[in-house]
Structure 1
Amino acid sequence: MEGTVEKLYSFISPCRLCPRECLSKRSEGELGFCRVTDEPMVSSFGPHFGEEPVLVGYGGSGTIFFTGCNLGCVFCQNYQISHLMEGEYISLSDLADIMLHLQERGCHNINLVTPTHQVPQIFAAVDEARGKGLKLPIVYNCGGYESLEVLRELEGLVQIYMPDFKTLSREFAAKYLKAPDYPEVVKEALLEMHRQVGDLEVNEFGIAKKGLIVRHLVMPNWAEDSKAVLKWIAENLGRNTYTNVMDQYYPYYKACDYPEICRRITPEEFEEVYSFAKRLGLRLAV
């Protein structure tokens, strides 16, 4: 993996790790959109039992929450971490030890939450942890706003991709994500992820081993966009794509600066979208 890690570090300063290509000199302490240097910055870690059942199993998903984000979602539920930058810089060896600790705790995977802007640091630590006995699959839990060039470098290093597929609307993406090109970017990213790992595979206990999991959060007043997202998944990734249609939207952070999304979704809105997903024949998370 050594050559791959070196290649990944070549993207970080000036930074081209994500589609923003902000060119910040992170190795010199210059902060770009994500506001993280070239060191690992972590908010928290531990076994997580609130993820999809195929990740949680009986031992939990070994989550590591990385500080900062390459998206600007106004409704982010983890805004303290992604926008308010709660967390601390740690060494690569400390990050590797966290992964080994989660394995020792009995977790089924290493779940990298918001890894996009810290990919070189993360996989340098994964390489060190593998050398010390890490055997768990790596879950790349991201917002879907990914550089195709960087993703290609991750082939063979990531066993489970779990992107959000937030929208196919440029209006939505510009207004709420601060990334107007998100729809075009996410489609290419998901196709590449699926090419690398295929449909989700589980072991005899129903725990994920390898493959793609797609999350979609249903938003108030955006049911038609949700249906367009699900239709794209069925037509381009296939109906066997493990898809989690989520109903837990809450107007966190700055969502109420936008009156149209300043409420929970209604049961009717969710049922409309979920029923559409069932009619498409998608493999839905339960």
Structure 2
Amino acid sequence: MICTLCPRRCGAERTDTRAGGLCGMPASPVVARAMLHQWEEPCLVGDHGAGCVFFSGCNLRCCFCQNGTISREGFGKPITVERLREIFRELIAQGAACLDLVTPSHFTPAILEALGDETWPVPVVWNCGGYESVETLRLLEGKIQVYLPDLKYALPGPAKRYSGAEDYFERASAAILEMYRQTGPYVLENGRLRRGVVIRHLQLPGELENTRRCIDWVAETFRPGEVLFSLMSQYTPQPGAKGPLARHVTGAEYRAAVAYMENCGITDGYTQERTSAKEEYTPDFDLRGV
């Protein structure tokens, strides 16, 4: 295919055997790990964990990515659509509370084929960086019960500086509105999310104003009971990080962000203990489960 799946619209030729584009991936799925993951939001974990499938490649170039081995370096194993469907079933058999598709956007056609027309017994979660094409998201309508997008930036400066996507907010805000149009207000049953949108924001050290602007947009766009918001403190400096990114978010920075979120009236969602900022919460990408 000549790929226009994401906002880059790079027009790269991607086939089952030929990789291309900024994501550097072929059209067929490449997966680095499939596992029951305990460190997602509580409403997605259930009793045994979220059934995570970690796809390789990404349409962003976040210099702070904790999954850089797979997002930037492309580590992973090429698999067929049939094998991907088997992985979904294996995770459900292990007790997964949901099918959590992590960084899936550049494999949208293959994932749609793997999901097929059957009704899965657990919610299917689209866990993405937020830099999505509305046109591609519309292909997913009726197939995805939960959208889990990042809202990384509301300001163009850090979006360009850290992720190479100056238009990030324009694209992500439009994408989140499309996600909400598809799911409607979130639905929780016995503490588990069955349908809806969970907007994640990872606070970056030294970027409190960016965090405030992201919170502003969520508070101004959605009413209580419509979406969940997850304010994350788990930023972990990566090798070679410089300037503010070479340190963790301070307690004062995170407390200020939490207070701002509360003052803006956002009460539906999650905050984190600062002990979340540990390398061990990043899975080992060793092809297990693939």
Give the drift of 1:72.
0.3
Please state if 1:35 is matched with 2:51. Answer: no
In structure 2, C-alpha distance between the alignment counterparts of 1:145 and 1:206, rounded to whole Å: 28
Give the drift of 1:30.
4.4
Equivalent residue in structure 1 for 2:249, among 259, 265, 278: 265
Counterparts of residues 176-215 of structure 1 (less than 5 Å): 176-203=162-189, 205-215=190-200
In structure 2, C-alpha distance between the alignment counterparts of 1:208 and 1:30, rounded to whole Å: 35
Structure 2 counterpart SS, 1:180: coil
Structure 2 counterpart SS, 1:285: strand
Give the drift of 1:80.
0.8
Structure 2 counterpart SS, 1:26: coil
Counterparts of residues 80-229 of structure 1 (less than 5 Å): 80-127=69-116, 130=118, 134-203=120-189, 205-229=190-214
Structure 2 counterpart SS, 1:243: strand
In structure 1, C-alpha distance between the alignment counterparts of 2:199 and 2:236, rounded to whole Å: 20
How big is each residue's C-alpha offset from its partner over 1:125-171, in whole Å with a ceiling of 9 and x where there is no partner? Answer: 1117x3xx742211000000000111112111110000000011111
TM-score (norm 1): 0.91
AA partner of residue 20 (structure 1): R
Percent of counterpart pairs with the same letter? 37
AA partner of residue 267 (structure 1): G
In structure 2, C-alpha distance between the alignment counterparts of 1:119 and 1:251, rounded to whole Å: 30
Give the drift of 1:200.
1.9
Contact 1:201 1:209 in 2 (8 A): yes
Please state if 1:238 is matched with 2:223. Answer: yes
Please state if 1:24 is matched with 2:12. Answer: yes
In structure 1, C-alpha distance between the alignment counterparts of 2:2 and 2:50, rounded to whole Å: 33
What corresponds to 1:9 in structure 2? none
Contact 1:223 1:269 in 2 (8 A): yes
Contact 1:71 1:178 in 2 (8 A): yes
Give the drift of 1:253.
4.7
- Moved runs in structure 1, 4+ residues, more than 3 A? none
Count of aligned pairs: 268
Instruction: Return closer, same or farther for 1:63/1:46 CA change in 2, 3 Å cut-off.
Output: same
What corresponds to 2:282 in structure 1? none
How big is each residue's C-alpha offset from its partner over 1:42-69, in whole Å with a ceiling of 9 and x where there is no partner? Answer: 0000111111100001121000000000
In structure 1, C-alpha distance between the alignment counterparts of 2:254 and 2:37, rounded to whole Å: 25
Instruction: Return closer, same or farther for 1:113/1:215 CA change in 2, 3 Å cut-off.
Output: same
In structure 2, C-alpha distance between the alignment counterparts of 1:220 and 1:171, rounded to whole Å: 14
What corresponds to 1:5 in structure 2? none
In structure 1, C-alpha distance between the alignment counterparts of 2:126 and 2:162, rounded to whole Å: 23
Contact 1:146 1:186 in 2 (8 A): yes
Instruction: Return closer, same or farther for 1:33/1:253 CA change in 2, 3 Å cut-off.
Output: farther
Instruction: Return closer, same or farther for 1:30/1:247 CA change in 2, 3 Å cut-off.
Output: closer
Instruction: Return closer, same or farther for 1:69/1:180 CA change in 2, 3 Å cut-off.
Output: same
In structure 2, C-alpha distance between the alignment counterparts of 1:183 and 1:263, rounded to whole Å: 25
Structure 2 counterpart SS, 1:278: helix
In structure 2, C-alpha distance between the alignment counterparts of 1:66 and 1:58, rounded to whole Å: 24
How big is each residue's C-alpha offset from its partner over 1:211-269, in whole Å with a ceiling of 9 and x where there is no partner? Answer: 00010011111111101101100111233321110011111255x1x413211010000
Contact 2:155 2:213 in 1 (8 A): no
TM-score (norm 2): 0.89
Contact 2:7 2:132 in 1 (8 A): yes
Instruction: Return closer, same or farther for 1:58/1:30 CA change in 2, 3 Å cut-off.
Output: closer
Contact 1:111 1:138 in 2 (8 A): yes
Please state if 1:58 is matched with 2:42. Answer: no
In structure 1, C-alpha distance between the alignment counterparts of 2:147 and 2:109, rounded to whole Å: 17
Give the drift of 1:83.
0.9
What corresponds to 2:279 in structure 1? none
**More helix as a share of residues:** 1
What corresponds to 2:35 in structure 1? 46
